Amino acid sequence: MGKKVVIISTSLRKNSNSHALAEQFANGARDAGNEVEFISLSGKKIEFCTGCLACQKIGHCVIQDDVQEIEPKVLEADVVVWATPIYYYEMSGQMKTLIDRLNPMFPKDYRFRDIYFLASAAEDAEYTPQRAIEGLKGWIDCFEKASFKDYVFCGGVNDPGDIQENEKLREAYIMGKAV
């Protein structure tokens, strides 16, 4: 029996390069017999966390938006995959906003153990995704049964669709297939 894989594509841009990485990871995971749920944040309403901490007392966020649909899917996944464009050497704002809004998960039981990261950027230096990875690891550190497994980074892609025919798409597929 396969794993339940939730992939969260955080780019809001149509035909984005990080979204293409996420799609290839999803294809690989499906081909390996896993159940894949693909969540795109494009078109989703996700408000900023207000820091009220009501979620820690009542078990859910008081803000009513699309996070209420996303949180249970993350809690029930065996594998969580985050895909983001890199902006100023960091994860996208919408990814960080969702991570903050998943605060109600902190005291809850969760199934996920393996976390993967996919990123693209115009800058192609190997260090480009490192701050974003460290930010994601900060979230993972709050879930002691989970761990960061691996990442694929594709640099040198700026415009929508630049990633087509890039070898990093194959790497994302292979990583997804190995889940």
Give the pLDDT score at 179.
97
SS3 31: helix
Tokens in use for 95? 């990814």
pLDDT (tens digit per residue) in 138-178 = 999 999 999 999 999 999 999 999 999 999 999 999 999 99
Instruction: Supply the DSSP string of 161-173, one letter for each residue.
Output: TTTTT-HHHHHHH
Cα dihedral 76, 178, 172, 39, rounded to 10, equals -10
What are 50-82's pLDDT values in tens digits? Answer: 999 999 999 999 999 999 999 999 999 999 999
Q: What is the mean pLDDT of residues 115-134?
A: 96
Q: In the chain, what are the domain boundaries?
A: 4-177
Between the CA of residue 8 and those of 1, 22, 46, 117, 174, what are the distances in Å? 22, 8, 13, 10, 18
**Fold of the 4-177 domain:** Rossmann fold (3.40.50)
DSSP states of 45-61: --PPP----HHHHHSS-
**Residues 9-33 pLDDT 10s:** 999 999 999 999 999 999 999 999 9
Is the dihedral angle over the CA atoms 5, 69, 141, 12 positive or is it negative? positive
Banded pLDDT at 1 (limits 50, 70, 90): confident
